[in-house]
């Protein structure tokens, strides 16, 4: 059967013309995906620089850092940062990384680019709303960046912005004036952008699947993006009013989060009767699903990439999807595990600890499915597959520390120590980023039509993999030794002996950061010197590999794609090649 | 022409596709998802109100039957009636009676504007009595004002948005710029705004009646 007959043409979109329409205000989901990815790259660079500044200060507290005084004369007199400015840099580091990197790249970036293609659609369900959601997110980013340059500088209340510190206004400290207000406004705008994006993802996944693409045949990455957008729809819906109420406390004189009789900087605050705990409830009801929003797309991405290099399907694909969905569902029931020591009734700690431990079950099942799938396979070692294996490793490491923190008795000791910092950096900063890297090395040939340099990629992987363990593994021991987090310097007797460990971590962090230059260089090299990529360089099966690299503006060149199989028919017996594409009409005994 | 066929033209997705598990056009699905999300937003604000109220030793209940509760009842009646007119608009649009549909849309829009006007007048009355987001003229908890103005204010914003949307749809419906699916989508939103009021009125007005 000829290509043309197998894929009858649908009516054409008209391609956009002009630079602005093609690359700036584009409604093409591929351009928008790359715009999100580019925003995330910019944000991760800024976030990393902030982390280096923090780490330098932690290792060598009186070290002058050239140029810092230019950025903030008040925050870094003589180029040595004040403790308050350390907290400001830390706040911006967390906020930028969680929102503008981890929620943006794996979800909005790759999701926007590949979800429509993987379901066989010509674009998202609402292309103009898609464009709006990117520019709204970009506006949120600009508002946040503005906090660096206003009087007082950026806020210092942490990405968690706990009240009453975040709610009272500028007497609470430098950055707590305009800086904190800009933070609240920026995050509120961000919520709107995410909401619009989620609507698009959900409608596209449910309504725009091409003929033959049943829900059961969707790739894991699409499932993960879909489930993530459902979680996001409900989670960001809570953060938005929380930020609005915070904003009102700051500018309208309300006392939602500010208790009576609060004295700040020798001044009695005029507020009364509010509850700082209310902020924690609202924030963490969003905040916990948010961290799953950060990790689930990465889980979907590596689950999607791994079979292509194992040359066999994953074990238990339906189970894996149920696990992803189960994690998403349970994520709404555990928010109180961030509040074990907040002063709530200790019985509530039990109520939150149980679902937190339950949520480890689907995560563990997923991990065992990956490991079981790798066992006995003839893995093709590429940078993408290495990052998948690296993801599994760091996901396990980060997950295990979660088992400890889930128990209130242990958490009473470990809360707000570096043990927690190690936990969330492993699962978020490392695992989710590894998912991003895997996705980049896998999908870059498709996105820009050129192969990335594998040698540079493998060097990047190994340096990064060793580097992140050097950075974050010692933090577990620091935490157990009692090292409190969010301290700018360590002067107490029991902390001073830990400073050499901090110095080691700093050196590891700077070296690992430098290793990322290899990645950036590879990106640039690929763009200009990379060898042309074929349509299907990895011999993979899902719909994105049934079109050109890069895809035409309507994804499939006007063809109607027809799907006959699920996405992971690798190593099939009796097939012509060792893989069967989703669009191949070849009759193969397949579970779906 | 079925709903799905009617909206299939939008965005050019005219190929053969798998059936959606919900079998409604994407625009309607998106509006339902938005409504779900917005319901969670209102729930969060109402949760904050409940949390603070339960934690307040000196909560005020200032609403006399006349004028406050009565005014609220009339506003509720206006909004519920606008729900009826919205239903009529959707029915007329589905049956192809464009002129009638447009008239019912304008009626809904007018009732929504009336609601908003009454609400603003009520706000002005309360502000004249000394109520602010941070101030309670009766000397009780300041959270009364904060909760009242933020909850009703958020709802009022949604009403005003709906009034504008209804006007836009009503202007474009006769010429065919918007079709009956768009009328239905606006209807979903409008009924949601009505539903939220049915929570706000008892929780904010009736529970604070003298």
| Per-residue pLDDT tens over the stretch B150-168 | 999 999 999 999 999 999 9
- Give the pLDDT confidence of A531-541 residue by residue, as tens digits: 999 999 999 99
Chain B CB within 8 Å of residue A191 CB: no
The answer to which of A92-96, A500-504, B134-138 has the lowest mean pLDDT is B134-138
Q: What is the dotted CATH code of the domain comprising B30-51+62-208?
A: 1.20.120.80
Name residue, tokens 């005014």: B71
On whether the CB atoms of residues A556 and A547 are closer than 8 A, the answer is yes
Q: Which residues of chain B make contact with A256, given a CB cutoff of 8 A?
A: 48, 52, 143, 146
- Residue A13 pLDDT: 57
Please state the pTM of the whole predicted model.
0.94
User: What band does B41 get if pLDDT is binned at 50, 70 and 90?
Assistant: very high
A208 at B interface, C-beta within 8 A = yes
d(CA B194, CA B79): 6
ipTM: 0.92
CA distance A483 to A476: 10
* B105 min Cα distance to partner chain A (Å): 25
Give pLDDT, residue A11. 40
pLDDT-derived band at A40 (thresholds 50, 70, 90) equals: very high
Q: Where are the domains of chain B?
A: 30-51+62-208
pLDDT digits (tens, 9 = 90+) for A367-382: 999 999 999 898 999 9
How close does chain B come to A237, measured CA to CA in Å? 5
Average pLDDT on A276-299 reads 96
A113/A275 Cα distance (integer angstroms): 42
- The count of CB pairs under 8 A between chains A and B is 145
Q: Do B52 and A252 touch (CB under 8 A)?
A: no
The maximal CA–CA distance of chain A, rounded, in angstroms, is 83
User: What span, in angstroms and rounded, lies between the C-alpha atoms of B43 and B35?
Assistant: 12
State residue B1's pLDDT score.
59
The radius of gyration of chain A from alpha carbons, rounded to an integer in Å, stands at: 24
pLDDT tens-digit series, residues B90-146: 999 999 999 999 999 999 999 999 999 999 999 999 999 999 998 899 988 889 999
| φ, ψ (nearest 5 deg) of residue A267 | -115, 135
Per-residue pLDDT at A520 exceeds 60: yes
Q: Does domain A32-259+272-546 have CATH number 1.10.357.10?
A: no
CB A417, CB A483: distance < 8 Å = yes
pLDDT (0 to 100) of residue A105: 87
Interchain CB distance below 8 Å, B142 and A255 = yes
The average confidence (pLDDT) of chain A is: 93
Decide if pLDDT at A174 tops 50. yes
B87 pLDDT higher than 60 = yes
Q: What was the pLDDT predicted at A6?
A: 38
Query: What are the boundaries of each domain within chain A?
Result: 32-259+272-546
Which of B7, B30, B143 best tests the A interface by mutation, with the highest count of A CBs <10 A?
B30
Would the pLDDT of B196 be above 70? Answer: yes
Is the bond leading into B67 cis (omega within 30 degrees of zero)?
yes
Q: What is the pLDDT of residue B4?
A: 62
Token pair for residue A42? Answer: 């910019």
Looking at residue A12, its pLDDT comes to 45
Q: Exposed (0-12), middle (13-18) or buried (19+): which is A20, by Cβ within 10 Å?
A: exposed
Confidence band for A589, pLDDT divided at 50, 70 and 90: low
Among A44, A67, A65, CA closest to A54: A65
The answer to whether A115 faces chain B, any CB pair under 8 Å, is no
Mean per-residue pLDDT, A302-326: 96
Quick one: pLDDT band at residue B5, thresholds 50, 70, 90?
low
A344–B contact, CB cutoff 8 A: no
């Amino acid at each position: 059967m000829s290509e043309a007959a197998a894929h009858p043409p649908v009516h054409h979109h008209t391609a956009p013309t002009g630079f602005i329409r093609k690359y700036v205000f584009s409604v093409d989901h591929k351009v928008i995906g790359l715009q999100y990815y580019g925003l995330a790259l910019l944000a991760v660079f800024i976030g990393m620089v902030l982390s280096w500044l923090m780490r330098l200060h932690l290792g060598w507290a009186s070290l002058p850092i050239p140029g810092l005084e230019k950025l903030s004369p008040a925050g870094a007199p003589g180029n040595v940062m004040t403790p308050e400015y350390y907290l400001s840099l830390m706040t911006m580091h967390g906020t930028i990384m969680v929102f503008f990197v981890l929620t943006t790249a794996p979800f909005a970036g790759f999701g926007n680019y590949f979800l429509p293609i993987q379901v066989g659609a010509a674009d998202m369900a609402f292309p103009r709303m898609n464009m709006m959601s990117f520019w709204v997110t970009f506006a949120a980013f600009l508002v946040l960046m503005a906090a660096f340059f206003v009087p007082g500088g950026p806020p210092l209340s942490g990405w968690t912005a706990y009240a009453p510190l975040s709610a009272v206004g500028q007497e609470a400290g430098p950055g707590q004036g305009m800086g904190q207000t800009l933070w609240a406004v920026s995050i509120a705008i961000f919520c709107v952008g995410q909401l619009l994006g989620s609507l698009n993802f959900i409608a596209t996944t449910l309504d725009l699947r091409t003929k033959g693409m049943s829900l059961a045949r969707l790739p894991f990455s699409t499932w993960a993006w879909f489930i993530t957008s459902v979680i996001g729809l409900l989670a960001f819906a809570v953060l938005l009013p929380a930020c609005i109420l915070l904003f009102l406390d700051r500018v309208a004189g309300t006392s939602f989060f500010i208790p009576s009789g609060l004295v700040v900087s020798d001044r009695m605050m005029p507020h009364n009767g509010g509850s700082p705990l209310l902020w924690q409830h609202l924030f963490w009801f969003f905040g916990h699903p948010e961290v799953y929003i950060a990790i689930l797309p990465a889980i979907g991405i590596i689950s999607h990439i791994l079979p292509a290099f194992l040359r066999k399907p994953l074990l238990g694909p339906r189970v894996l999807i149920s696990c992803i969905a189960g994690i998403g569902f349970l994520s709404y029931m555990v928010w109180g595990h961030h509040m074990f020591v907040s002063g709530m009734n200790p019985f509530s700690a039990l109520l939150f600890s149980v679902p937190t431990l339950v949520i480890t079950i689907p995560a563990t099942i997923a991990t065992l499915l990956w490991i079981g799938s790798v066992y006995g396979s003839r893995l093709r070692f590429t940078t993408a597959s290495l990052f998948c294996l690296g993801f599994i490793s760091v996901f396990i490491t980060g997950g295990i520390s979660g088992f400890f923190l889930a128990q209130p008795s242990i958490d009473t000791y470990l809360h707000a120590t570096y043990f927690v910092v190690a936990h969330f950096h492993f699962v978020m900063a490392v695992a989710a980023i590894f998912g991003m890297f895997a996705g980049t090395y896998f999908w870059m040939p498709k996105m820009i039509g050129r192969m990335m340099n594998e040698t540079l990629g493998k060097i990047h992987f190994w340096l990064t993999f060793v580097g992140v363990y050097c950075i974050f593994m010692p933090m577990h021991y620091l935490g157990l030794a009692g090292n409190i987090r969010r301290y700018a310097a360590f002067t107490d007797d029991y902390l001073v002996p830990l400073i050499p460990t901090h110095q080691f971590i700093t050196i590891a962090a700077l070296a690992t950061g430098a290793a990322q230059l290899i990645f950036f260089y590879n990106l640039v090299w690929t763009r200009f010197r990379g060898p042309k990529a074929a349509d299907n360089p990895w011999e993979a099966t899902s719909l994105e590999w049934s079109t050109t690299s890069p895809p035409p503006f309507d994804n499939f060149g006007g063809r109607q794609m027809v799907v006959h199989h699920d996405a992971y028919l690798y190593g099939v017996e009796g097939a012509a090649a060792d893989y069967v594409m989703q669009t191949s009409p070849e009759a193969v005994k397949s579970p779906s | 022409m079925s709903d799905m066929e009617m909206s299939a033209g939008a965005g050019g997705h005219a190929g053969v596709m798998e059936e959606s598990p919900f079998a409604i056009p994407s625009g309607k699905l998106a509006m339902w998802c938005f409504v779900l999300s917005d319901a969670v937003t209102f729930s969060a604000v109402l949760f904050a109100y409940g949390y603070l109220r339960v934690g307040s030793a000196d909560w005020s209940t200032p609403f006399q039957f006349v004028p406050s509760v009565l005014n609220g009842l009339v506003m509720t009646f206006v909004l519920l009636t606008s729900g009826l007119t919205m239903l009529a608009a959707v029915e007329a649009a589905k049956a192809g009676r464009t002129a009638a549909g447009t008239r019912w849309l304008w009626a809904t829009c007018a009732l929504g504007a009336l609601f908003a006007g009454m609400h603003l007048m009520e706000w002005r009355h309360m502000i004249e009595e000394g109520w602010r987001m941070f101030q309670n003229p009766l000397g009780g908890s300041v959270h009364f004002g904060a909760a009242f103005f933020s909850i009703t204010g958020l709802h009022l914003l949604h009403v005003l948005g709906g009034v504008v949307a209804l006007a836009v749809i009503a202007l474009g419906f006769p010429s065919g710029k918007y079709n009956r699916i768009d009328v239905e989508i606006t209807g979903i939103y409008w009924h949601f705004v009505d539903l939220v009021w049915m929570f706000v009125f008892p929780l904010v007005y009736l529970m604070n009646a003298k």
